[in-house]
Structure 1
Amino acid sequence: MNSDTWTYLIAAGIPAALLVAASTVLVRRRREDRDDTPSTGGTDVLTAPEQEASSSAPPVSPSVGTAPDLLAPGAGEPGLAVPEDVAEADLDVQLDVPAPVAGRFTRLRGRLARSGSPLGARLLAVLSRDHLTEDDWDELEETLLLADVGAGPTGDLIEALRTRVRVEGLREPGAVRAVLREQLVALVDPTLDRSLNLAPGADAAGAPTPAVVLVVGVNGTGKTTTVGKLARVLVAEDRSVVLGAADTFRAAAADQLETWGSRVGVPTVRSDRDGADPAAVAFDAVRTGKASGVDVVLVDTAGRLQNKAGLMDELGKITRVITREAPLAEVLLVLDATTGQNGLNQARVFGEVAGVTGIVLTKLDGTAKGGIVVAVQRELGVPVKLVGLGEGPDDLAPFDAETFVDGLLEG
């Protein structure tokens, strides 16, 4: 009430105490009414980007509305953005902060050294003998083959070592180790481009698109977990991400992927029913990524056996459907390092069907078969780009040839 109203009511004989009580009730009711009214800067803001995307993209998981990239100014209609201080405060409480990517492989090298891998130790032990006989060279060859280096690369390495030992007369352990390291690094090939291609693309109409990364592999390789860990790698590099749960046959796959994404504020596009068309989900994920302007769309696919023609044909369909909306930036094949030569057979078939551009090796720290790195690169002609070296959420690291060899030789 203004001052004139107060003056009039007091002059009319109404007690001042009664007026104060009435004023307090009125103010309280106004506050309650204001609290019950939807705020243009609060709850509505969280749903506005979803409404904006729904006009050009299919329905997605409710988690899309809470992604940090979709809360940013410009994600929805002009002016509909959560205030920076409020959004960041909420995210700081709810979200994990992934470990920095730089130096991950170096920090994890010790796990490879402690994994019991006998490759480096056995090679050094044989090469340090006073006089190398044919039996010694046979032992070296057997050691390399057992480590899944492969027949071709093993022959190349043995020939190079024979030449160096004979010409240089190597006997001193330090010199032997240096030569072995040099030859192993050359075999792993540090010249290969192991960076992920995450440059934005363009659709047929020339409109910008996110970098689309398709992740494939057989059952049991840790594919969905790898997608979740890769999302953390990208978030650690300040990239915005959308996940596509195109593994619609395994009931828990979408839930698992959504849990990984929610920990770092990454939304997941998924079907509302099991057994849905995985190509449709992948398409929806890419379209949602385009609508929200994210940097990368990661698409998880169902595990499939390389000898099942129907499943592999379906993978080809997923690839074709995605490329109608945006070009594929990467096709990553997830391989279990413990599978050895069977992993090579998988790599060969997936390479033919999906056009694999890079390998992700999981469980590398728990195997004596580190030579699979060399063999699979020779088989596919594409590099190992990422490796899993543990069970932690940030135990996925960019592969580095020299660091890997040093880990083998320290074992």
Structure 2
Amino acid sequence: MELLILAVVIAVVAVAAIGGLVVSGRKKKQLPPPDRSAPPTVTAPPREPLVGEEAEGEPEAPGRPIEDVGAPGPAAPEHDAEVEAPPAPAEPEIETPEPTAGRLVRLRARLSRSQSTLGKGLLTLLSRDRLDEDTWEEIEDTLLTADVGVTPTQELVERLRERVRVLGTRSPEELRALLREELLNLVGTDFERDVRTETTGAEDRPGVVLVVGVNGTGKTTTTGKLARVLVADGRSVVLGAADTFRAAAADQLQTWGERVGARTVRGPEGGDPASVAFDAVKEGTSAGADVVLIDTAGRLHTKAGLMDELGKVKRVVEKQGPVDEVLLVLDATTGQNGLVQARVFAEVVDITGIVLTKLDGTAKGGIVVAVQRELGVPVKLVGLGEGADDLAPFEPEAFVDALLGD
């Protein structure tokens, strides 16, 4: 019995030992250490289905025909904040133009820089000890080069010859006084040089000024500067933009008007200039303005076409009253060529005054004499720069003093 029990125990121990060996033999193998030099392993994502392949499974819901799909609506705003309106444009500041009294005297230095060549050249020639024929020819050439004109030059040289012969000895002061007197006679001191803005009759209406001239002479700019001159003298002004053939002319004139508080009447681009001029006078009358300035077209294409345009403007305006002033704007730097323009305009309308622009940009101040002789009307205004207040009433004494220099 005891032998049987011992045999069972030995058998159990043997079975247990054999089982441990089997379990230990099934343990997982240890992986070798990772190779740091090998590239990292990238796991590829699942393959996308190719075009034409059928998807596995059934769709979640049947699709809708395209007719049933509506257009997307407007995107909802991210917030309900109110949109602020843009600020209103600020009113243009009204400028106070410089007073016109003595304006040419204030601009004398600018005028002297360009014009003193003529006066100094004449004084130098007249100061020679011996005034022979060659010297008088040089004096004549100096005057002609300055665009004084043939006839005025001959007249001046003859008077100088006579007076120098009578004078005898000639000191610099005496020559200067002599030349100043003769140049003043040549320029003319008996002209009425005020711009006529007063009405000729007793009727209650504004004075009407037509501004004419070839485009490029500074006509529109001169009209705007003249408005400043009148406002500086205490006049109220209405501007008429009757140059409807240049797109920028009306805008330019309106800008000039806004700077001094003057209203601008304008029409559509390419519209009837006479209609705009008529409306400007009508507006000036109803507003009680003192002066209406009308900037006209300056297309010198043919004399007949120019005559038709300006003639019609003048006739239409005169249905409300006479035109008080017709100012012709000329570019002083064009010299004798400007006289050709002056003749054409003088045949179309009755010129009553001349405005010489860019007089500070030329040494040919004799054009003042030449154009007055050609048209028989005075130079009333001169432009002496690009500034807003560089348009000045023409004063013969200040002009001749600028010719002679200091």
TM range (shorter): 0.7 to 0.9
Residue of structure 2 aligned with 1:396, choices 369, 391, 394 = 391
- Specify every segment of 5 or more residues in structure 2 that has no aligned partner in the other structure, as ranges: 1-89
What is the aligned partner in structure 1 of residue 335 from structure 2?
340
What is the aligned partner in structure 2 of residue 382 from structure 1?
377
Does the C-alpha gap of structure 1 residues 302 and 171 become closer, same or farther in structure 2, counting only changes over 3 Å? Answer: same
Asked whether the equivalents of residues 201 and 210 of structure 1 are also in contact (C-alpha less than 8 Å), the reply is no
SS in 2 for 1:328: coil
**Is 2:239 the counterpart of 1:237?**
no
SS in 1 for 2:324: strand
Asked whether the equivalents of residues 218 and 306 of structure 1 are also in contact (C-alpha less than 8 Å), the reply is no
- Offset of 1:217 from its aligned partner? 0.3
Amino acid at match of 2:259: R
**Is 2:287 the counterpart of 1:292?**
yes
What is the aligned partner in structure 2 of residue 179 from structure 1?
178
- Offset of 1:116 from its aligned partner? 5.9
Q: Deviations over 1:332-365 (max 9, x none)?
A: 0000011111111111221121100000000001
What is the aligned partner in structure 1 of residue 149 from structure 2?
150
**Alignment of structure 1 residues 6-405 onto 2, 5 Å:** 94-115=93-114, 117-201=116-200, 207-271=203-267, 273-305=268-300, 307-405=302-400
SS in 2 for 1:98: coil
Asked whether the equivalents of residues 129 and 171 of structure 1 are also in contact (C-alpha less than 8 Å), the reply is no
Q: 4+ residue stretches of structure 1 with deviation over 3 A? A: none
- Offset of 1:201 from its aligned partner? 4.6
Amino acid at match of 1:263: R
SS in 2 for 1:287: helix
- Offset of 1:209 from its aligned partner? 1.5
Asked whether the equivalents of residues 112 and 365 of structure 1 are also in contact (C-alpha less than 8 Å), the reply is yes
- Offset of 1:307 from its aligned partner? 4.4
d(CA) in 2 for partners of 1:156, 1:354? 30
Q: Deviations over 1:135-177 (max 9, x none)?
A: 1000010110111101111011000100011111142111111
- Offset of 1:311 from its aligned partner? 2.3
Amino acid at match of 1:149: V
Amino acid at match of 2:324: A
d(CA) in 2 for partners of 1:324, 1:275? 23
Q: Among the aligned pairs, what percent are the same residue?
A: 68
TM-score if structure 1 supplies the norm length? 0.75
Does the C-alpha gap of structure 1 residues 302 and 117 become closer, same or farther in structure 2, counting only changes over 3 Å? Answer: farther
Q: Deviations over 1:261-297 (max 9, x none)?
A: 00010000001x2100001100110111111111000
SS in 2 for 1:382: coil
Asked whether the equivalents of residues 117 and 367 of structure 1 are also in contact (C-alpha less than 8 Å), the reply is no
Answer with 287-296 or 346-355: which moved more: 346-355
d(CA) in 2 for partners of 1:385, 1:288? 27
Asked whether the equivalents of residues 201 and 326 of structure 1 are also in contact (C-alpha less than 8 Å), the reply is no
Amino acid at match of 2:364: K
Cα RMSD, aligned residues only = 1.6
d(CA) in 2 for partners of 1:170, 1:362? 40
d(CA) in 2 for partners of 1:107, 1:122? 24
Asked whether the equivalents of residues 306 and 350 of structure 1 are also in contact (C-alpha less than 8 Å), the reply is no
SS in 2 for 1:312: helix
What is the aligned partner in structure 2 of residue 80 from structure 1?
none
Does the C-alpha gap of structure 1 residues 357 and 170 become closer, same or farther in structure 2, counting only changes over 3 Å? Answer: farther
SS in 1 for 2:154: helix
SS in 2 for 1:280: helix
- Offset of 1:304 from its aligned partner? 2.3
- Offset of 1:306 from its aligned partner? 7.2
Q: Deviations over 1:283-339 (max 9, x none)?
A: 110111111111000000112227442123211111111111121000000000111
Amino acid at match of 1:355: D
d(CA) in 1 for partners of 2:253, 2:286? 21
SS in 1 for 2:397: helix
TM-score if structure 2 supplies the norm length? 0.76
d(CA) in 2 for partners of 1:391, 1:142? 31
Asked whether the equivalents of residues 115 and 403 of structure 2 are also in contact (C-alpha less than 8 Å), the reply is no
- Offset of 1:117 from its aligned partner? 4.6
- Specify every segment of 5 or more residues in structure 1 that has no aligned partner in the other structure, as ranges: 1-89
Asked whether the equivalents of residues 97 and 228 of structure 2 are also in contact (C-alpha less than 8 Å), the reply is yes
Asked whether the equivalents of residues 117 and 369 of structure 1 are also in contact (C-alpha less than 8 Å), the reply is no
d(CA) in 1 for partners of 2:301, 2:137? 34
Asked whether the equivalents of residues 200 and 295 of structure 1 are also in contact (C-alpha less than 8 Å), the reply is no
SS in 1 for 2:114: coil
Amino acid at match of 1:234: L
